[in-house]
Amino acid sequence: MKDPTSSQFNYRLSIPEPENHLLEVELAISNWQEEFIDLKMPVWTPGSYLVREYAKHLQDFEAANETGKPLSWQKISKNHWQIKCGNNSSDRLNNSIIKIRYHIFCNELTVRTNHIDRTHAFLTGAAVFMYVPEYQQQPYTVEIGEIKENWQIATALPAVANATNTFYAKDFDTLVDSPFEIGIHNRYEFTVQDKPHSFVVWGEHNADMQRIVKDTAEIVAVEAEMFGGLPYDRYDFILHASNGFGGLEHKNSTVLLYNRLGFRKEESYLQFMNLVAHEFFHTWNVKRIRPKALEKFDYDQENYTSSLWFSEGTTSYYDQIFPLRAGLYDAKHYLKLVSKAITRLQNTFGRNVQSLYESSFDTWIKLYRPDPNTHNNQISYYLKGEMVSMLLDLLIRFKTNNLRSLDRVMQIMWERFGKDEIGFSEAELHEVIETVAGVDLSTFWNDYLYGNKELDYNYYLEPFGIELRTSRQDIPFIGMTLKSKNGIPEVEKVEFGSPAQKAGISTGDIVIAIAGIRVTAENFNERLRDFAAGDAIAVTIFQQDLLRTAEVTLQEPICNQFELVQIDNASPNQELNLRLWLSI
């Protein structure tokens, strides 16, 4: 029987030459008495539901005992290394400290991967640290070894007393959940509810950090108010100002990636604050209020759950609500954001094919792996989950005469599951929502979670004096969109059942001309205005490098713009409901 308390796991990370993007990793395992050590590399990281094969970046693996004598090892699978420590107890006694060394190539700047260059090192735990199965509850230490003299270290892990640049994780889950930002960065401190917070910012940018800190503090405060406090001792927002977009939540920190020049325009700035609100809300929803399948992480394979619509979609709903409550924008701006989200969903044909339940469950093979048919057979559980969460909030408010809302659902989920980190089942989630609403929601689940019925926005919005209005595009419907690829108009999407698809046009085709006249991605829609519904037009394309002309019969313009507006002559009750919903 193994005794996990008898072993110690100590990592040392060094970056002697950051220009080569290599991280040097040394794992010292002391008091090991077994014949073999089985080491594994996680294949995914919590919060990003795709097998990312982090082991592909690992190289130069070696193992030795404390005297430096090499130990034999073999690779068992793509992410599994086995080290032979000795045939008998005396051999293993001489190997009481085993040192494993390897390099990780780090040159991918996202919130879920590693990146090292001459200015910094960003390290994602799952993409760096190996673990021994059955010993994941052991404590770990991480020492930051050789780095540039002017580099600083930021991590949510607590420092080890009387040890230089050394940090402590109570178990492997905590180690994975605590990224490191090491390098040249600026730190901006602030306090909410007597707890320290900071923005750690790497990269050149045009952000007004004083405004960001002030607005973030407001968001933290309103989110904490919902749950009755903050569930941590300190919290870091790690911001990478570069040329991408993304966020990844952690228990006591979050990593944000945003366009370095995207902070000046007001709309873009407010989008960043939505990202902040989203990732911070995960402090509760998904990091502590977790589906049963994510209660204990299996880093070796997919962890399937059908509740990501709640973990991510409900979070997406609140990431627009909380800046509204914090006073960062008004109800008009909020309704504009929701209108855009509805427009995106209603212009995605896949809403007719994939249910919200399926979208949550199949994220491992679909959401992060788009293909030419993605638009036609998928929806995002972020996007539709946001809309379903909004309808649930409106339903609860209406059914309870504004005595309760989706806020109450979140509070109960926090009390029952989040505080003690007990995973919830799908049935338990539904039971909480139905109890708060005071009605049976079987039809709602069957229509909107398990089925593909169109969301009846106006039914739920009417008691709040809001209606969804639609408008048609002013060009005949062809059912395809173009993108410019090195100046060449390439078919980006073809909608299922559309005139373009029926004519045999496919994603990736190169469009040369319409009715004998050259067309570009930029003037494509303008060219279509020369024709009317019912016209058969000749579309000249290169398909698999072969030149052909497809005859496409255009259809009537479709409704593709959706806007939420306040109705005229709203009743006093509708005005009251709207005011209580949107803090007007």
Model confidence over 18-35: pLDDT tens digits?
Answer: 999 999 999 999 989 889
Q: 186-281, what's its fold?
A: Neutral Protease; domain 2 (1.10.390)
Query: How far is the C-alpha of 112 from the C-alpha of 246, rounded, in Å?
Result: 9
Say if CB 73 and CB 10 are below 8 A apart.
no
pLDDT tier for residue 4 given thresholds of 50, 70 and 90: very low
Closest CA to 491 of 513, 477, 519, 511: 511
10 Å CB burial of residue 505 (0-12, 13-18, 19+) is buried
Residue 224 tokens read as 């904490």
What region does 229 belong to: left with phi over 0, alpha with psi -120 to 50, or beta?
Answer: left
pLDDT of residue 3: 47
Query: How far is the C-alpha of 465 from the C-alpha of 581, rounded, in Å?
Result: 11
- 534 Cβ contact partners less than 8 Å away, ≥ 6 residues apart: 553, 554
Mean pLDDT of the residues in the chain: 95
pLDDT of residue 1: 34
Query: How far is the C-alpha of 241 from the C-alpha of 116, rounded, in Å?
Result: 15
- What per-residue string of b and e applies to 177-188 under the rule 16 or more CB within 10 Å gives b? bbbbbbbebeeb
Query: How far is the C-alpha of 583 from the C-alpha of 397, rounded, in Å?
Result: 14
The CATH number of 292-467, from 2.30.42.10, 3.60.10.10, 1.10.390.10, 1.10.3720.10, is 1.10.390.10
User: Does 532 have pLDDT greater than 60?
Assistant: yes
Which amino acid is residue 162, in one-letter code?
N
Query: How far is the C-alpha of 582 from the C-alpha of 330, rounded, in Å?
Result: 9
pLDDT tier for residue 94 given thresholds of 50, 70 and 90: low
User: Does 220 have pLDDT greater than 70?
Assistant: yes
Give Cα separations from 551 to 69, 499, 515, 537 (angstroms).
73, 9, 10, 6
- What per-residue string of b and e applies to 204-218 under the rule 16 or more CB within 10 Å gives b? ebebeeeebbebbeb
User: Does 579 have pLDDT greater than 80?
Assistant: yes
pLDDT tier for residue 180 given thresholds of 50, 70 and 90: very high
Question: How would you classify the pairing of strands 559-566 and 536-543?
Answer: unpaired
Question: How would you classify the pairing of strands 166-169 and 140-144?
Answer: antiparallel
pLDDT of residue 221: 98
For residue 199, the surrounding DSSP H or E stretch is: strand 195-202
DSSP state of 408: H
Tell me: the pLDDT tens digits for 101-152? 999 999 999 999 999 999 999 999 999 999 999 999 999 999 999 999 999 9
Cα 10 to the center of its chain, rounded Å: 30
Mean pLDDT of the region 520-549: 96
Mean pLDDT of the region 406-416: 98
pLDDT of residue 460: 98
User: Does 6 have pLDDT greater than 70?
Assistant: no
pLDDT of residue 66: 85
Say if CB 43 and CB 127 are below 8 A apart.
no
DSSP state of 341: H
Question: Superfamily for 480-557?
Answer: PDZ domain (2.30.42.10)
pLDDT of residue 2: 44
pTM, two decimals, is 0.95
Whether 186-281 shares its CATH topology with 480-557 is answered: no
Give the rounded percent of residues in the chain with a pLDDT score beyond 90: 94
Per DSSP, the three-state class of 274 is helix
Residue 279 tokens read as 């990732």
Residue 520 tokens read as 């570009």
Residue 255 tokens read as 């990593």
User: Can you list the positions of beta strands (E) in 362-508?
Assistant: 466-472, 480-485, 488-494
Per DSSP, the three-state class of 569 is coil
> Which residues lie across from 485 on neighbouring strands?
488
pLDDT of residue 334: 98
User: Does 87 have pLDDT greater than 90?
Assistant: no
Cα 113 to the center of its chain, rounded Å: 13
Query: How far is the C-alpha of 533 from the C-alpha of 519, rounded, in Å?
Result: 19
Say if CB 84 and CB 63 are below 8 A apart.
no
Q: What does CATH list as the number for 4-183?
A: 2.60.40.3650
Longest Cα–Cα distance in the chain: 88
Domain ranges in the chain are 4-183, 186-281, 292-467, 480-557
User: Does 233 have pLDDT greater than 50?
Assistant: yes
Give the rounded percent of residues in the chain with a pLDDT score beyond 70: 97
Give Cα separations from 389 to 382, 406, 411 (angstroms).
10, 8, 15
Mean pLDDT of the region 225-242: 98
User: Does 214 have pLDDT greater than 80?
Assistant: yes
Say if CB 321 and CB 278 are below 8 A apart.
no
pLDDT tier for residue 88 given thresholds of 50, 70 and 90: low
Tell me: the pLDDT tens digits for 36-54? 999 999 999 999 999 999 9
Say if CB 302 and CB 288 are below 8 A apart.
no
Residue 374 tokens read as 């993605």
User: Can you list the positions of beta strands (E) in 418-545?
Assistant: 466-472, 480-485, 488-494, 510-514, 517-518, 536-543
User: Does 480 have pLDDT greater than 70?
Assistant: yes
Q: What backbone torsions phi and psi does residue 42 show, to the nearest 5 degrees?
A: -55, 145
